[in-house]
Structure 1
Amino acid sequence: MISYNTKDWFTFIFHFHKSDTVRKLLPIMIAIGIYSAAIGYLEVEHFKLGKNDYIHNIPIMHGMLGFVISLLLVFRTNTAYDRWWEGRKLWGGLVNSSRNLAIKLSAILKDENDRKFFRKYIPTYAMVLHTHLHDSETGLMLFEDVELELDQHKHKPNQLMRIMFGKINDLYDAKKITGDQLIILNNELQSFTDICGACERIKNTPIPYSYSAFIKKFIFFYIMTLPFGYSVSLGYLVAPVVVFIFYVLASLELIAEEIEDPFGDDENDLPTKKIAENIKKHVEELI
């Protein structure tokens, strides 16, 4: 996750980070610039089109469609950010659940071996969940046409939770904890599985294909028709204008694609490994 100063405007404006969309879009921006310049040359120099030609009225269509495309992109980015922020809230919940469980076990357990067990397994769950969510096959669990090598009967977070609950149950059988304490600890353990399931829901449920494909096609045809309408008014300046408009629209789509899966390896994704390490540190302090 990128660390930055939100108030440093000049750094944002003049510094190009390696994750910046300019680097990703540069080849296609150059191609669109050449395409726009070619259309401008043909209309202005070859066909000698002027403001009295019907093609000069094409920007009326762009004005009407611009409102539609802006609504689509706003919805797209908001939906992607909601997924990113929900993922952050879930991992914040995992931090709190780990702390609460560690605090209660610290007060309940007297045997050092029992304390050592949970000192190890509570932070291990967070690290295993981090690995599970970064597995590419985890994101394909709901796709019917994909053959997975992953053995679904060996769901690692579930297996780890089974071991921890088995230990809690053994403590109850050994009369080391009471029935009321068993219920309290069970609720804490259940929150771990709830968080895992919610994270999997984000990971393996992408934005509907038809919606994502439509936005990309809409942006493409919108940009490809811009030079036809504006070449008469702008001349060769149509090339940088169209390139800039493409950069704005395509960047919003790229940003949405990057943050809609917060459990990936992109620089703007959630630092789940660091959060898991912090959980380990806090649990070891408590138990």
Structure 2
Amino acid sequence: MIVDRNLRWSVIFHYAWKSMLYYIILSIVVYLLHDYFEVMHLHLPFDTISALSTALAIFLGFKNNNAYDRWWEARKIWGLLVNYSRAWTRQVVTMIIATDPTDPEEAKAVKEFQKQMIYRHMGFVHALRVFLRRRHDYNETKIREIYEEENDYADARSFLAPKEFQLFCHKNNPPNYLLELQGEDLKRAYEKGWLSDFRFMKLEESLVEFNNIQGKSERIKNTPFPRQYSFFSRVFVFIHASLLPFVFIEELGWVSMPISVIISFVFLCLDLVGERSEDPFENRLEDVPLTDISLTIETNVKEQWGNKDFPEKKRVEGVVF
């Protein structure tokens, strides 16, 4: 997620330079044909572009609003994950109780069990982040080399037992596997008497919420923004930019070149804003900062447990991943 108020022009032109080159070449060609080769029939009436500009602005506004809704829904889902992670840690610590608090061996076993449940949850959070970002092919070039962070299940290794991690890595849905382990361990705690019926149900409800959070995230990940909107927005922006020089050349002369390029650039940016916001789990500059949120959860949970070994967050040139 980009957090600086000012965007880097190098990043903007990384995505826009091909279209900008086309706009510049087209405007120059139209100017030369009109003024030097006196091809007078190149001119188009202003009403033509005016109607198209209005329709295109409405279309891009609709697309961008819906693209932002997807991004904001993803952020709200992971905000819930933060809240339920804090609640889960509190529940594990306060609700899993030894049947005989005076027995040091049982008290130690309960403490180890609590730690296992809490640390496995941190593994789940990191695993879910990787799972949502992992299933696609990264094709971006130099900008990815600058900004891309590691996206690997190894981030969950330190929170899981070695045997669990080996099995975890071979699962089709690793985060869901960890939730299954959590449920099985809750059942064992209940059988040992460490959980009452009520406390068992409350902890199980929290696991269900984690399932819901994962399912909602997968729905956004696996259901792309309707591609007809993305396709036709690109087509309409291209048509609009191709007509602009023909509208202004008669009245503005050489000034039509920078004017048409600037107007085309504005509509191109509007299209790119929607395109870069519609899929919030692709590990790109504009996406929901899953890594940062995961580290926030890890920090909060460790603090609740009493571990001061907090992870270090980082920001790369105004971008938070």
Contact between 2:128 and 2:214, CA under 8 Å: does it hold in 1? yes
CA distance 1:18–1:118, shift in 2 (3 Å): farther
Aligned-pair distance for 1:133? 0.7
Q: Secondary structure at the match of 1:154?
A: coil
CA-to-aligned-CA distance 1:129-166 (integer Å, 9 cap, x gap): 01001113499xxxxxxxxxxx9962111111100011
Correspondence for 1:268 among 272, 278, 286: 286
Asked whether 1:216 is paired with 2:242, we answer: no
Q: Which amino acid aligns with 1:132?
A: F
Contact between 1:138 and 1:200, CA under 8 Å: does it hold in 2? no
Q: Which residue of 2 aligns with 1:148?
A: none
Q: Partners of 2:302 and 2:44 in 1: how far apart?
A: 70
Q: Which amino acid aligns with 1:94?
A: L
Q: Which residue of 1 aligns with 2:177?
A: 159
TM-score normalised per structure 2: 0.76
Q: Which residue of 2 aligns with 1:67?
A: 54
TM-score normalised per structure 1: 0.85
CA distance 1:17–1:123, shift in 2 (3 Å): farther
- The answer for unaligned runs of 5 or more in structure 1 is 7-11, 140-150
Contact between 2:44 and 2:246, CA under 8 Å: does it hold in 1? no
Asked whether 1:3 is paired with 2:21, we answer: no
Contact between 1:138 and 1:204, CA under 8 Å: does it hold in 2? no
CA distance 1:25–1:285, shift in 2 (3 Å): same
Q: Partners of 1:134 and 1:248 in 2: how far apart?
A: 30
Q: Secondary structure at the match of 2:285?
A: coil
Contact between 2:171 and 2:177, CA under 8 Å: does it hold in 1? no
Q: Partners of 2:175 and 2:57 in 1: how far apart?
A: 41
Q: Which residue of 2 aligns with 1:144?
A: none
Aligned-pair distance for 1:197? 0.9
Asked whether 1:204 is paired with 2:222, we answer: yes
Q: Which residue of 1 aligns with 2:252?
A: 234
Question: What are the equivalent positions in structure 2 for 1:1-287 lying under 5 Å apart?
Answer: 1-4=1-4, 6=5, 12=6, 16-19=8-11, 21-47=12-38, 49=40, 56-110=43-97, 111-137=110-136, 154-287=172-305
Aligned-pair distance for 1:284? 1.9
- The answer for unaligned runs of 5 or more in structure 2 is 98-109, 139-168, 306-321
Contact between 2:70 and 2:279, CA under 8 Å: does it hold in 1? yes
| Root-mean-square deviation over aligned CA pairs | 2.2
Q: Partners of 2:79 and 2:233 in 1: how far apart?
A: 32
CA-to-aligned-CA distance 1:32-57 (integer Å, 9 cap, x gap): 212112112212332363xxx7x645
Contact between 2:230 and 2:275, CA under 8 Å: does it hold in 1? no
